[in-house]
Chain A
Amino acid sequence: MGSFTSSSTLNYSKSPHKCVSSDKVKNLVLERARNGESHAVAAIYDEYQEAVRAFAIRIVGDEAVAEDLVHDVFIRLPRALRGFRGQSSLKTFVLGITANRARHFIRSATRQRAAYERYSKRECQQEADPEQMCSRRELAYVLTRAMDTLPVKQRIAFVLVEVEERTSSEAAVIIGIPAATVRSRVFHARKKLREYLDKEGVR
């Protein structure tokens, strides 16, 4: 866990050695964040916003919606921290909140993508030339569209394990389910995604 000194707005640590009072700093920040102090929450945001944002973008597949998800996660953090017992790292805990809240934003992003494709020429282009993937971004987009067909639980498991390359155990801690369940969901997700890519003619 970070020291909250490098990028936080409040300098909690008074020692020149960052690790000396890191536990105290951590507890202090957590306590203040639990009370809803905005600067404490902002300190946690500064520490983990990159990881949360990356996960959010991979999950929902839309940057704007991902920003909303990130905002939602940290807004809910003070209340959620009341249930934090320190059994996992704070980063894992925050990612778990992200995974839980993601379902509400996935639907929104999926609808937006569907609406966009209805009124854009993207689909026509792909039908015209399905074998040419112009960029990796395009490939990522196709995969995001493919993930729209997955149930949310499988999607989250797939992103954690396959996209973010975490172990099943790590993903299990984040989501709060057994590792075997994670593996099962990932397996089914892969199968469905392969079928989708095959149907779309993506080679």
Chain B
Amino acid sequence: MSERDILKDATRALKEAAQVESDESMGTRERLLISLENKRRRSRNLTVFGTILVISLCCATSWAAISGRLPELLNVLLSDPQDDTPNNEIVLTEPRQLVTPGQAPRLTPSKTTQNDEENPESEEPSVTKIEKQSSQPAAKSRKQPRKRPRKARPRNPEPPPVVNQPEESEATPPQEQPSDERSEPDNETETTAQRALFDRAHRLHFKARNYRAALPLWNRYLAETPSGDNHLEARYNKAICLFHLKRNKAAIQAFRPFADGAHPGYRQREAARMIEGLERQLNNE
């Protein structure tokens, strides 16, 4: 037999072998019907589940829109509380919620006296803590400020000359209380651009710690909105910037109104201690 014949023979044999009737045909048919039914059932369940999900989402969104909670809901969904990047406007706008001039008088002197024993070196940390705290959401600031002075100290090795600076917790009460008012988007005294300016300055000051860049922005903000909602905070932050830039005399001048009670209760004790420390430093020079 030639090779080709063998191949032809083999192919014919293969063809014949497959032509034998299979007993499995009915079994396969039943299996097929069951599989098709299962597939159809799965598809139906998926459709029902998907429909329910879509309807639930629509109802939730409608409810949120009707009850006026939709913007808040979107903010919560879109914001990342752990995101420290400067571009997170939601986090940055919250600090403004923490401080309101109207709430400033609620500062309790007792809390400030607790920190009279503070180490001068804590001025830097406390300032830093205050700055940091103001950049945190209100909820966190309620809890963290008391801890931060201890934690922040090692991270701030600079030896500022100012003595007995107030703890950040002193700043806590005013920052905590006005949060509700701050959160309200209605602000007739500030335009969007001014608010954005405040945010930029805040970002540079507290996130980037670029006091050299933040100072002109604080000045500009105060020039544009001398009595805006955030003017007190802006003035105080400006004073802090001057302190960090070692412009002690200018810093004393900036802290003076606060220490003298021109803005009753708003960081009065803190400002007084800052001035005390700065003057001591100046005398030592």
Q: Verify A71–B31 contact, CB threshold 8 A.
A: yes
* Inter-chain contact total with CB atoms closer than 8 Å: 94
Q: In this assembly, does B155 line the interface, its C-beta being within 8 Å of a C-beta of chain A? A: no
User: Which residues of chain A (144-173) have a CB below 8 Å from chain B?
Assistant: 144, 146, 162-165
Known pairs A140-B14, A144-B14, A197-B6; A38 contacts B33 (CB<8 A): yes
Known pairs A46-B29, A63-B22, A67-B22; A202 contacts B16 (CB<8 A): no
With A and B bound together, what is the CA distance between A140 and B36 in angstroms?
Answer: 34
What's the nearest-Cβ distance from chain B to residue A151, in Å? 18
Q: Verify A38–B17 contact, CB threshold 8 A.
A: no
Residues of B within 8 Å of A, CB-based: how many?
A: 31
B interface, by DSSP: helix, strand, loop or mixed? helix
When C-beta atoms are compared, the residue in chain A nearest to B10 turns out to be A143
When C-beta atoms are compared, the residue in chain A nearest to B3 turns out to be A194
Residues in B whose Cβ lies below 8 Å from that of A146? 10
Residues in B whose Cβ lies below 8 Å from that of A75? 32, 35-36, 39
Q: In this assembly, does B7 line the interface, its C-beta being within 8 Å of a C-beta of chain A? A: yes
Q: In this assembly, does A53 line the interface, its C-beta being within 8 Å of a C-beta of chain B? A: yes
Q: In this assembly, does A136 line the interface, its C-beta being within 8 Å of a C-beta of chain B? A: yes
Residues in A whose Cβ lies below 8 Å from that of B39? 36, 75
Known pairs A67-B28, A194-B4; A140 contacts B17 (CB<8 A): yes
Residues in B whose Cβ lies below 8 Å from that of A179? none
With A and B bound together, what is the CA distance between A202 and B3 in angstroms?
Answer: 9
Q: In this assembly, does B25 line the interface, its C-beta being within 8 Å of a C-beta of chain A? A: yes
User: Which residues of chain B (16-34) have a CB below 8 Å from chain A?
Assistant: 16-19, 22, 24-25, 27-29, 31-33
Residues in A whose Cβ lies below 8 Å from that of B3? 194, 197-198
When C-beta atoms are compared, the residue in chain A nearest to B25 turns out to be A49
When C-beta atoms are compared, the residue in chain A nearest to B16 turns out to be A136
Q: In this assembly, does B11 line the interface, its C-beta being within 8 Å of a C-beta of chain A? A: yes
Q: In this assembly, does B260 line the interface, its C-beta being within 8 Å of a C-beta of chain A? A: no
Q: Verify B31–A197 contact, CB threshold 8 A.
A: no
With A and B bound together, what is the CA distance between A54 and B10 in angstroms?
Answer: 16
Q: In this assembly, does B282 line the interface, its C-beta being within 8 Å of a C-beta of chain A? A: no
Q: Verify B24–A67 contact, CB threshold 8 A.
A: yes
Residues in A whose Cβ lies below 8 Å from that of B18? 53-55, 57-58, 163
Q: In this assembly, does A45 line the interface, its C-beta being within 8 Å of a C-beta of chain B? A: yes
Interface residues on A, range: 35 or more
Q: Verify A163–B32 contact, CB threshold 8 A.
A: no
Q: Verify B29–A42 contact, CB threshold 8 A.
A: yes
A interface, by DSSP: helix, strand, loop or mixed? helix
Q: Mark A36-54, 1 if CB is under 8 A from B, else 0.
A: 1010011001100110011
When C-beta atoms are compared, the residue in chain B nearest to A159 turns out to be B14
Cβ contact of A142, chosen from B10, B29, B35, cutoff 8 A: B10
Q: In this assembly, does A26 line the interface, its C-beta being within 8 Å of a C-beta of chain B? A: no
Q: Verify B7–A193 contact, CB threshold 8 A.
A: yes
Q: Verify B37–A136 contact, CB threshold 8 A.
A: no
Q: In this assembly, does A203 line the interface, its C-beta being within 8 Å of a C-beta of chain B? A: yes
Q: Verify A57–B28 contact, CB threshold 8 A.
A: no
Residues in B whose Cβ lies below 8 Å from that of A144? 14
What's the nearest-Cβ distance from chain B to residue A51, in Å? 10
Q: In this assembly, does B13 line the interface, its C-beta being within 8 Å of a C-beta of chain A? A: yes
Q: In this assembly, does A93 line the interface, its C-beta being within 8 Å of a C-beta of chain B? A: no
Q: Verify B17–A136 contact, CB threshold 8 A.
A: yes
Q: Verify A163–B11 contact, CB threshold 8 A.
A: yes
Q: Verify B15–A53 contact, CB threshold 8 A.
A: no
Q: Mark A72-102, 1 if CB is under 8 A from B, else 0.
A: 0011001000000000000000000000000
When C-beta atoms are compared, the residue in chain B nearest to A135 turns out to be B13
With A and B bound together, what is the CA distance between A146 and B33 in angstroms?
Answer: 35
With A and B bound together, what is the CA distance between A73 and B43 in angstroms?
Answer: 19
Residues of B within 8 A of A (CB): 1, 3-4, 6-7, 9-19, 22, 24-25, 27-29, 31-33, 35-37, 39-40, 43
List 19 interface pairs A-B (beta carbons < 8 Å), by A numbering: A36-B43, A38-B32, A38-B33, A38-B40, A42-B32, A45-B29, A49-B25, A54-B18, A58-B18, A71-B32, A75-B32, A75-B36, A140-B14, A140-B17, A143-B7, A146-B10, A193-B7, A202-B10, A203-B1
Further 20 A-B residue pairs, CB within 8 A, beyond A54-B19, A143-B7: A38-B32, A42-B33, A45-B29, A45-B32, A50-B25, A57-B17, A57-B22, A71-B28, A75-B32, A75-B36, A139-B9, A140-B14, A140-B16, A140-B17, A143-B13, A163-B15, A164-B15, A193-B7, A197-B3, A197-B7
